Chains A and B, each alone.
Chain A
Amino acid sequence: MDINATLLGLLIAFVVFVLFCMKFVWPPLISAIEERQQKIASGLEASDLAEKDLEKARAQANEELNAAKIEAAAIIDQAKKRATKLVEEETQRGHAEREKIIASGHTEVETERNRVREELRKQLSILAIAGAEKILEREIDAQKQSDIVEKLVAEL
C-alpha cells in the first residue's frame, strides 16, 4: 500500500476525464435539459393563456347569444303587432270595399230601373198612340193631338 507512479497516471487520467467531461459531456446534456425546461414552461404558459382565451370566448359567445335572443324576441313581437295591424287594416278595407260595391250595385240597379221605366213609358206611349189610332180610325192630325200625347207620356 505504498504511493507510487500510479498516482501520477491516475492524476493525468483524472484531468483528462474532467476536460473531456467539460468539453463533450456537460454542455449538450445541460443545454438539452434547460431547453426542455424552457419548452415545458412556455407550454404551460401557452395552455394557461389558451384557457383564459377559451373562457373569454365562452363569455363573449354567451353575451352574443343573449343579445340575439333579446333581438329575436323583439322582432317576433314587432311581427305580431304588424300582423294584427295588417289584419285589422285589411278587414277595414274589405268592409269599405263591400260598402262601395254594395253602393255601386244599388246605383246601377237604380239607373237600370230608371232606364227600363223610361223605355216602358215610351213603349206604352207608342202603344197608347197606336191604340188610340185604332180606336179613332179617323184622320187625326197627329200634330194637333201631339200635345195630348205629350201630356199622356208625361203622366205615365
Chain B
Amino acid sequence: MAANGNMTPTEYISHHLDPLQVGSGFWTFNVDSLGIAIVLGIFFISLFAYVGKKATSGVPGKLQCFIEMVVEFVDNSVKETFHAKSRLIAPLALTIFVWVFLMNAMKLIPVDFVPILAGLVGLTFASSSSKGYVGEDAGIFERAMDHPWSYMKAAPTTDLNTTLALAIGVFLLIIFYSVKHKGLGGFIKELTLNPFNHWALIPFNLVLELVTLIAKPISLSLRLFGNLYAGELIFILIAMIGLWQLPLHFAWAVFHILVIVLQAFIFMMLTIVYLSMASEKH
C-alpha cells in the first residue's frame, strides 16, 4: 500500500512515525494522539453511560450483556487484588482497560489508511498548505501523502505522550493513596526507613525507595509504548514490501489482537496492583 513512489524507505518510515503536530517547543500538541484518544474516550464513556442508563436488572440485551461482561471482568480483577475500600479504583481500572484497548485497537487499521484519508481531507479543505514536494501531476494518493495532515497516526498509544499521561495519572494516584492510607508521616517513613531501619541509612533508603517509586510510572508507560511502537514499526516495514504484505500484514495483525488486549490488561492490572500496594500498610 505504499502509494508514494518518490519517497525513500527512510522517508516513508519517518513519515509514518512522526506525529502530526501543532505549536512549537514544549507547547506542541500532537493532534493525532490527542484527537483520536479523546474521540475514543468519548466513545467509550458515551457507549458505557448509554448502556448504564438503560441497564435493567432483568433480562439484559446483547449489548448490555457484553458491557456487563467487561465490567464484571474488571470488577473481579479489582476485587481479587485491591482489598481496601475505594469508589475510585474500579471505575479507574475500567477506564484504563477499555480506553487503552480502544487506542491499541486503532493499530489494526492498515498503516496507510488513516494518513491517506487525513491527507485527502487536507487536500480538500486546506490544499494551500501542501508541502509541494510532488507536482500537481502526481497521483491523488501521492499528493495526499504529501499533505502535512497525512502525518495523522491512528494509534495514540504509539505516542509516548499518551502512555506517559496515563502513567502520570496513575503515579499521582499512587502518591495520593499512600498519603491517604498511611498519612504523610507514614509515607515519608516508608520512603526513608524502609529497607534498612536505621537513621544513618536514611539517604540510602530514600534513593532506593524513590527509584522504586518512580520506576512504577516509567515502566508502566514504557511497557505499553514500547510494545505498541515496535508493533507499529513492524506494520510499517510490512507495508513496504509490495504484494506480499497482505498475508504478512494479516498474520501480524492476528498476532497483534493478542498484544492489544494483553497490554491493555497489563496496564490495568499493574495500576490496581500499584494502588493496592500504596494503600496497604506494611
Contacts and interface: CB of A to CB of B under 8 A. Distances in A.
A9 B91 CA distance: 20
B26 A36 contact: no
Contacts of A30: 71, 75, 90
Given A4-B29, A6-B30, A32-B57, A21 B48 contact: yes
- Most chain A CB neighbours (cut-off 10 Å) among B55, B64, B159, B165: B165
B85 interface: no
A29 B26 CA distance: 40
B28 A33 contact: no
Contacts of B26: 4-5
Contacts of B57: 31-32, 35-36, 39
Contacts of B165: 6-11, 13-14
Interface in A1-44: 1-11, 13-15, 17-18, 20-22, 24-33, 35-36, 39
B29 A26 contact: no
A14 B98 CA distance: 12
Given A1-B160, A14-B165, A28 B28 contact: no
Interface stretch (B34-42, B107-115, B119-127): B34-42
Contacts of A35: 57
Contacts of B17: 1
The bracket for how many chain A residues form the interface is: 20 to 34
Contacts of B28: 2, 4-6
Given A6-B162, A24-B52, A26-B90, A33 B68 contact: yes
A36 B58 contact: yes
A3 B164 contact: yes
A5 B23 contact: yes
Contacts of B156: 10
Nearest to B88: A22
B195 interface: no
17 contacts: A1-B159, A1-B160, A4-B27, A5-B26, A6-B33, A6-B162, A9-B29, A10-B33, A13-B34, A13-B165, A17-B45, A18-B95, A25-B48, A27-B52, A31-B57, A32-B52, A32-B64
